[in-house]
Amino acid sequence: MVDQQKIAKIVQDYIQAAKTDYVGLWQIVIKVRHDFSISNRAEVRRLVMQIVEGMLSDGLEAVTLKSVGPGCTPWENQNLNYVLDQIASEWDHLDRDPNPGEIVWFNSP
């Protein structure tokens, strides 16, 4: 059983971090693997998606970083279910954990 307070703390830590810098999906994957000592890919993904859902529910937005210059482009559709489905779909397509910069970044608007 996963400690839900630990999940909530991670969500809040990333919400704070996003106020000064973008948070990448890959960072969350690494944190889950480290903090929960989990190697099972399906379980890592389940927890990562739970954290992402919390971050989005608490006001962060899904973005793509601009390839040139500073800034980001928010995803056109910020609907929670759409964003979660899009992340899951792109993760499925990778067939591995995302590397730095892949799939999505999170920003505090």
Average pLDDT over residues 59-63: 98
Q: What is the pLDDT of residue 107?
A: 97
- Confidence label for 1 from pLDDT (cuts 50, 70 and 90): low
Average pLDDT for the chain? 95
Would you state the structure tokens that stand for residue 43, as one six-digit string?
A: 């379980």
User: What pTM did the predictor assign?
Assistant: 0.94
- Whole-number Å distance between alpha carbons of 81 and 14: 20
Share of the chain above pLDDT 70, in %: 99
What is the 3 state secondary structure string of 16-79? HHCCCCCEEHHHHHHHHHHHHCCCCHHHHHHHHHHHHHHHHHCCCEEEEECCCCCCEEECCCCC
Q: What is the pLDDT of residue 66?
A: 80
Residue 60 pLDDT more than 90?
yes
Residue 68 pLDDT more than 80?
no
- Whole-number Å distance between alpha carbons of 103 and 49: 13
Q: What is the pLDDT of residue 25?
A: 98
Q: Give the count of beta carbons closer than 10 Å to the beta carbon of residue 102.
A: 15
Average pLDDT over residues 34-39: 93
Contact between residue 101 and residue 57 where contact means Cβ atoms under 8 Å apart? no
